[in-house]
Amino acid sequence: TTKLILDLDTGIDDALAIAYALGSPDAELLAITGTFGNVTVDQGVRNALAVTELLGHPEVKVYRGLPHASRVGSFAVSEGTRRIHGANGIGEVTIPEPTRGPESEPAVDFIIDAAATYGKDLVIVPTGAMTTIAAALAKAPGIKDQVGGIVMMGGALTVAGNVSAWAEANIAQDPDAADSLFRSGAPVTMVGLDVTLRTLLTTAETRTWRALGTPAGDFLADMTDYYIGAYAAIAPHLGGCGLHDPLAVATALDPTLVDTLPINMRVDVDGPTRGRTIGDPARLNDPVATTLAAVDVDVPRFLGRFMERITALARG
């Protein structure tokens, strides 16, 4: 089994990523660390606590990450993001308040400790602003040689961005952090829009969750229908919602789901293309490429596994 730390800005597809991890017999969800993006850190931590409880796993520990990019002094959720994930981040669905709180240790320190403890068995999956994981690598650069990998959802190499023609949302939240992650030398797999916009969910699937007649099934269906509705309004040509963050978790557990291109990546941190993820010309001919950029995905195999695992979990 792979030990996972999910570093989430718990919005809708992040919550689906939690469900995927909890429904995976080949995964051990060590903890969730909270970042910002779809929601504030505090809202994301609260969502992670509440969602794990609703899904029957109150034992999952949740740590609080950094609340904003280092370059700016604060963070506020954008109007566009609120339209996609809802003001509460989980599609305006009301679920019981969590009965437990976050751990007192900061997420950065927890990640550093976990890397030393679990080594190659540990894969970290950041699916929001890369601020916390970048800070952990800056504080303890040795992590890069300890962990099994960092499978991040973010960026776009072969397709356009989703917040601008260049930038994908998780990178746009903190381009400096994403750039330092790519340059850290850590073994990064980039699961970007190149692949996540090919793995789509529709109401045909959410109906099967609702038909289970369980609180978890109702929650997952209601929350995801909000997301599907937002995608229908914003990107009707897709015909469904992108399973961004669950695909990153699935790839962390089974890298054969995607085809990757080894390439040293960088992020444009200034200028009009701020937030763009692109191959680094200065490191193009380095003997080792530390990033594997996913450029293709086995859609039926992933979608089949996604439905199987999440439906089994929601059945209870």
Instruction: Give the catalytic positions in this structure.
Output: 244
DSSP state of 128: S
Q: Does 128 bind Ca ion (CB under 5 A)?
A: yes
Q: Does 206 bind ligand BDR (CB under 6 A)?
A: no
Shortest gap between Cβ of 274 and Ca ion (angstroms)?
A: 20
- The residue to which tokens 């599609």 are assigned: 91
Rounded Cα distance, 40 and 89, in Å: 9
Q: Does 14 bind ligand BDR (CB under 6 A)?
A: yes
When binding is defined by CB under 5 A, the residue of 33, 47, 127, 264 that contacts Ca ion is 127
Q: Does 276 bind ligand BDR (CB under 6 A)?
A: no
DSSP state of 165: S
C-beta neighbour count of 93 within 10 angstroms: 20
Shortest gap between Cβ of 169 and Ca ion (angstroms)?
A: 8
Residue 31 φ then ψ, to 5°: -170, 165
Q: Which stretch binds ligand BDR (CB under 6 A): 9-17, 67-75, 262-270, 292-300?
A: 9-17
Structure tokens at 255: 């890298």
**Cβ–Cβ under 8 Å, residues 179 and 288:** no
Q: Which residues pair with 47 in a beta bridge?
A: none
Of the pair 140, 235, the CB lying nearest ligand BDR is at 235
When binding is defined by CB under 6 A, the residue of 244, 276, 305, 309 that contacts ligand BDR is 244
What's the gap between Cα 44 and its chain centre? 12
H/E stretch holding 32: strand 27-34
| The entry of Ca ion, ligand BDR, none that residue 86 binds, CB within 5 to 8 Å by partner kind | none
Shortest gap between Cβ of 153 and ligand BDR (angstroms)?
A: 5
Size of the site for ligand BDR (CB under 6 A): 13
When binding is defined by CB under 6 A, the residue of 7, 168, 174, 225 that contacts ligand BDR is 168
Instruction: Indicate the burial class of 190 (C-beta count within 10 angstroms; 0-12, 13-18, 19 or more).
Output: buried
When binding is defined by CB under 5 A, the residue of 5, 12, 14, 195 that contacts Ca ion is 14
Of the pair 11, 112, the CB lying nearest ligand BDR is at 11
CA distances from 144 to 133, 227, 263 (A): 11, 34, 17
Q: Which residues pair with 150 in a beta bridge?
A: 124, 188
Q: Which residues pair with 294 in a beta bridge?
A: 260
- The residue to which tokens 């990640």 are assigned: 111
Q: Does 168 bind Ca ion (CB under 5 A)?
A: no
Helix, strand, coil % in the chain, rounded to nearest 5: 45, 20, 35
Residues 253-272 that bind Ca ion (CB under 5 A): none
Of the pair 14, 174, the CB lying nearest Ca ion is at 14
Q: Does 162 bind ligand BDR (CB under 6 A)?
A: yes
Shortest gap between Cβ of 282 and Ca ion (angstroms)?
A: 29
Q: Does 127 bind ligand BDR (CB under 6 A)?
A: yes
Of the pair 14, 225, the CB lying nearest Ca ion is at 14
In 3D, which of 260, 222, 228 has the Cα closest to residue 241? 228
Residues 29-48 that bind ligand BDR (CB under 6 A): 37-38
Provide the binding-site residues for ligand BDR, judged by CB under 6 A. 11, 13-14, 37-38, 127, 153, 162, 168-170, 244-245
Residues that bind Ca ion (CB under 5 A): 9, 14, 127-128, 245
